């Protein structure tokens, strides 16, 4: 995808990474360097170009519509003065995700390569930044995200069975969560085709869950018009944008008319942080960009259609929550959908809602594992991780790939592997996630995940701006408005700084992991 002029510049040494020398040169100059040459690996790819817009759309939707839309509304409502402002926060969060996704689409169609943000950071800032992004995703972001999802899954399952806890997840819940991870690993280890088909099933379940919530809200509005008093009632009798006191989960009350500007901004930033968590996963289509048959067309189309769909789902679902529930209840629950259905239709339907949410979260787990394996394989192919983790189709070691066995080459059917799944990478992900489940808790993992993820989102989008200045002649099959990376860089930078200030423990843990990763990187550098 890169232009001829930029490729020629790189070959002649005129175009060097902005902040550091790339290890790609080390691979080229030193034949003893472990792992395949990055340029060759990027060009050849590990997986076949067998996916299309529908699969990319399904990956984004399946990950984004997960636990967030059913658990984040309470955290947002408690930090805003009115339901109308809460809906604006959901709108702003979706638009910010869209600006980031469009910037990623520009980079994904201009800079080929596997592994999500890895090739972009390597091209722009140097090899060490690409490695550090891969390291952060492998040891922090991916396992923390999966630990959060599987925790929500297990707690929702217990809620559906009528068992709840108030002191955090006990050890038995955590062990069940690990067992769920093993099942998800097995499902992803069959093949890419099986995983993408499962994604399609789960996407249908997600739309069904959202549709049921919205339909319930519409029914309540219709019944109210006939004089029947059902649902929350506040939606019809109170102004949506008028400030009202917010009841917090601990029973305290936030009196908005007594807060200063700085305190108000602090609450609003916390609400935005919760919304961004709900939209987490908007970037995931880039992880399969090297598997798209026509990424220049399919990647932007998948991003734009998926995020427009998700934004519509989130806005309508949250408006329905405010119709179904009294407004002083929304902020006090972390299971707003189950609470709403339970109050409207009774405990039996609340159980059905909890089961459906379990199914929705399971879909997000499947898709997150799918992209996690691709990130790890790409890092292994660059020599950043042990080559064992780059093996696909089998457990353990495999023969080095030859030109005849490359995934895009014509291979007799009988010689093709039974699976093209990165099983070793999936096993590593399961082990790392299990550790996070055993030692972490929901809120700490949420902040830790956000810090790690948005640090590199900020660097990637900042890098897109750097490329506009440094390589204006770079071929960009898709080019977004300059306002998109500017807006996303400003907000993501703010999110990282705010998170670092208010969560020093998680920040120190992340810095420690970065130091450990850099030590590993430089120890392996020839």
pTM for the predicted model, two decimal places: 0.76
Structure letter (DSSP) for residue 31: T
Q: Is 281 left (phi over 0), alpha (psi -120 to 50) or beta?
A: left
Helices 295-324/192-225 angle, 10° precision? 30
Is the pLDDT assigned to residue 519 strictly greater than 90? yes
According to the model, what pLDDT value does residue 47 have?
58
The Cα 189–Cα 428 span in angstroms is 13
SS3 at position 246: strand
Cβ atoms 391, 424 nearer than 8 A = yes
DSSP 36-102: --HHHHHHH-SS-S-B-HHHHHHHHHHHHSSSHHHHHHHHHHTTSSSHHHHHHHHHHHHHHHHHHHH
**How many residues comprise the chain?**
526
pLDDT digits (tens, 9 = 90+) for 396-408: 665 444 443 444 4
- Could you tell me whether strands 253-254 and 246-247 are parallel, antiparallel, or unpaired per DSSP bridges? antiparallel
pLDDT confidence of residue 517? 94
Residue 272 has pLDDT above 90, yes or no: no
CA–CA separation, 289 vs 37, rounded Å? Answer: 20
**Which residues contact residue 340 at a Cβ distance below 8 angstroms, ignoring those fewer than 6 apart?**
213, 216, 320, 321, 324, 325
* pLDDT of 458 above 70: yes
Measured distance CA(105)–CA(477) in Å, rounded: 10
pLDDT at 439: 85
* Residue 369 pLDDT exceeds 70: yes
Kindly tell me if the per-residue pLDDT of 384 is higher than 80: yes
Of 35-49, 292-306, 373-387, 428-442, least confident by mean pLDDT is 35-49
3-state secondary structure of 247: strand
Mean pLDDT of the region 270-276: 84
Range scoring the smallest mean pLDDT among 34-43, 331-340, 461-470, 477-486: 34-43
Asked if pLDDT for residue 130 goes beyond 60, the answer is yes
Q: What share of the chain is helix, strand, coil (3-state, %, to 5)?
A: 70, 0, 30
As a whole number of angstroms, the distance between CA 466 and CA 107 comes to 12
pLDDT tens-digit map of 19-50: 433 434 433 334 333 333 333 334 445 556 65
Convert the pLDDT of each residue in 59-101 to its tens digit: 788 778 877 788 788 889 888 999 999 999 999 999 999 999 8
Over range 350-362, report the average pLDDT. 80
Question: What is the average pLDDT across 505-521?
Answer: 93
For 357-377, the DSSP string reads HHHHHHHHHHHHHHHHHHHHH
Q: Which residues touch 67 (CB under 8 Å, ≥6 apart)?
A: 148, 149, 152, 153, 156, 357, 360, 361, 364
**Section 401-427 average pLDDT:** 56
Share of the chain above pLDDT 70, in %: 79
Give yes or no for a contact between 241 and 84, defined as CB atoms under 8 angstroms apart.
Answer: yes
Model pLDDT, residue 37: 35
Q: Is the pLDDT of residue 171 over 90?
A: no
* Dist. CA 413–CA 456, nearest whole Å: 41
Q: What's the token pair of residue 198?
A: 């499962």
The CB density around residue 399, as the number of other CB atoms within 10 Å, is 8
- Looking at residues 383-408, what average pLDDT do you find? 64
Fold of the domain built from segment(s) 46-400+417-524: Amino acid/polyamine transporter I (1.20.1740)
Determine the pLDDT at residue 414: 44
Distance CA 92, CA 15 (A): 37
CB 450 within 8 A of CB 61: no
Q: What pLDDT is attached to residue 252?
A: 81
**pLDDT-above-90 percentage for the chain:** 23
Residue 43 CB neighbour total at 10 angstroms: 11
Most confident among 22-26, 147-151, 245-249 (mean pLDDT): 147-151
**pLDDT for residue 456:** 92
Confidence of residue 366 (pLDDT cuts 50, 70, 90): confident
Other CB atoms within 10 A of residue 511 CB:
12
Phi-psi bin for 346: left (phi > 0), alpha (psi -120 to 50), beta? left
Averaged pLDDT for residues 110-114: 78
3-state DSSP assignment of residue 394: coil
Q: Is the pLDDT of residue 125 over 50?
A: yes
Q: Which helix (H) or strand (E) holds 313?
A: helix 295-324
Mean pLDDT of the chain: 78
């Amino acid at each position: 995808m890169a232009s001829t002029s930029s490729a020629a510049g790189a070959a002649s040494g005129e175009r060097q990474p902005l902040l550091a020398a790339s290890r790609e040169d080390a691979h080229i100059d030193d034949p003893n360097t472990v792992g395949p040459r990055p340029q060759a690996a990027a060009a050849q790819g590990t997986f076949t170009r067998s996916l299309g817009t529908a699969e990319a759309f399904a990956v984004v939707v399946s990950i984004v519509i997960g636990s967030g839309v059913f658990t984040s509304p309470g955290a947002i409502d408690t930090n805003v003065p009115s339901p109308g402002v809460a809906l604006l926060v959901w709108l702003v969060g979706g638009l910010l995700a869209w600006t980031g996704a469009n910037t990623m689409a520009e980079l994904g169609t201009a800079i080929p390569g596997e592994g999500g943000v890895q090739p972009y950071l390597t091209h722009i800032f140097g090899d060490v930044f690409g490695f550090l992004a891969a390291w952060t995703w492998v040891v922090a972001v991916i396992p923390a995200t999966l630990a959060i999802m599987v925790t929500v899954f297990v707690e929702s399952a217990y809620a559906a069975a009528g068992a709840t806890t108030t002191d955090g997840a006990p050890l038995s819940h955590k062990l069940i969560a690990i067992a769920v991870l093993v099942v998800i690993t097995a499902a992803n280890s069959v093949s890419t085709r099986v995983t993408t088909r499962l994604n399609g099933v789960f996407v249908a379940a997600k739309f069904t869950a959202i549709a049921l919530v919205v339909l319930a809200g519409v029914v309540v509005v219709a019944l109210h018009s006939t004089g029947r008093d059902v649902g929350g009632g506040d939606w019809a009798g109170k102004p949506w944008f008028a400030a009202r006191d917010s009841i917090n989960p601990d029973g305290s009350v936030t009196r908005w008319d007594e807060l200063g500007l700085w305190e108000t901004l602090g609450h609003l930033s916390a609400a935005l942080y919760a919304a961004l968590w709900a939209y987490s996963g908007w970037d995931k289509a880039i992880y399969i960009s090297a598997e798209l048959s026509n990424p220049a067309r399919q990647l932007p189309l998948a991003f734009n259609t998926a995020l427009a769909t998700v934004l519509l789902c989130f806005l309508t679902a949250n408006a329905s929550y405010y119709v179904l529930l009294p407004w002083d209840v929304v902020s006090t629950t972390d299971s707003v959908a189950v609470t709403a259905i339970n109050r409207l239709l009774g405990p039996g339907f609340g159980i059905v809602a909890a089961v459906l949410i379990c199914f929705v979260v399971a879909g997000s787990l499947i898709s997150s594992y799918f992209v996690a394996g691709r990130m790890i394989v790409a890092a292994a192919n660059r020599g950043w991780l042990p080559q064992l983790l780059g093996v696909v189709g089998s457990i353990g070691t495999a023969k080095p790939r030859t030109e005849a066995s490359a995934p895009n080459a014509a291979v007799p059917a009988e010689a093709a592997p039974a699976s093209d799944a990165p099983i070793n990478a999936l096993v590593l992900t399961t082990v790392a996630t299990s550790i996070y489940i055993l030692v972490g808790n929901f809120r700490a993992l949420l902040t830790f995940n956000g810090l790690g993820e948005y640090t590199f989102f900020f660097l990637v989008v900042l890098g897109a701006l750097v490329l506009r200045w440094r390589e204006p002649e770079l071929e960009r099959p898709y080019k977004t408005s300059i306002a998109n990376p500017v807006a996303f860089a400003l907000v993501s930078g703010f999110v990282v700084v705010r998170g670092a200030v208010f969560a020093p423990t998680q920040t120190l843990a992340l810095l420690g992991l970065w130091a450990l990763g850099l030590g590993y990187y430089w120890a392996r550098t020839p």
